[in-house]
Copies of this chain bind each other. A is one copy, B any other.
Amino acid sequence: MALDAGTITERFKGTLGELLGIRFVEASPERVVAELTYREDLTTVGGALHGGTLMAFADTVGAAATVVNLPPGASTTTLESKTNFFAAGEAPVLKAVSKPLHIGRTTMVWQTTIGTADGKVCAVVTQTQLVLEG
Binding site for B on A (CB under 8 A): 11-12, 14-20, 40-45, 50-53, 55-57, 59-60, 63, 77-86, 101-102, 104, 106-107, 109, 121, 124, 126, 128, 130
CA distance A128 to B121 in the complex (A): 16
Find chain B residues with CB under 8 A from A128 CB. Answer: 79-80, 84, 128
Give the residues in chain B near A130, CB-CB below 8 Å.
Answer: 106-107
A38 to chain B, nearest CB (A): 12
Q: Chain B residues near A57 (CB, 8 Å)?
A: 52
- In the complex, residue of chain B having the shortest beta-carbon distance to the beta carbon of A58: B52
Q: How far is A14 from B72 in the complex, measured between Cα atoms in Å?
A: 43
Closest to A77 in B: B85
Q: Which residues from chain B contact A83 at a C-beta distance below 8 Å?
A: 55, 80-82
Q: Identify which of B17, B42, B126 contacts A126 (C-beta below 8 A).
A: B126
Interface centre among A85, A109, A121 (most CB of B within 10 A): A85
- A52 interface neighbour in B44, B45, B56, Cβ under 8 Å: B56
Are the C-beta atoms of A16 and B52 separated by less than 8 Å? Answer: yes
**B59 x A40 contact (CB < 8 A):** no
The 6 A-B pairs with the shortest beta carbon distances in the complex, nearest first, are A52-B56, A16-B50, A55-B55, A52-B59, A19-B41, A86-B102
Contact across chains for A101 and B84 when beta carbons are under 8 A apart: yes
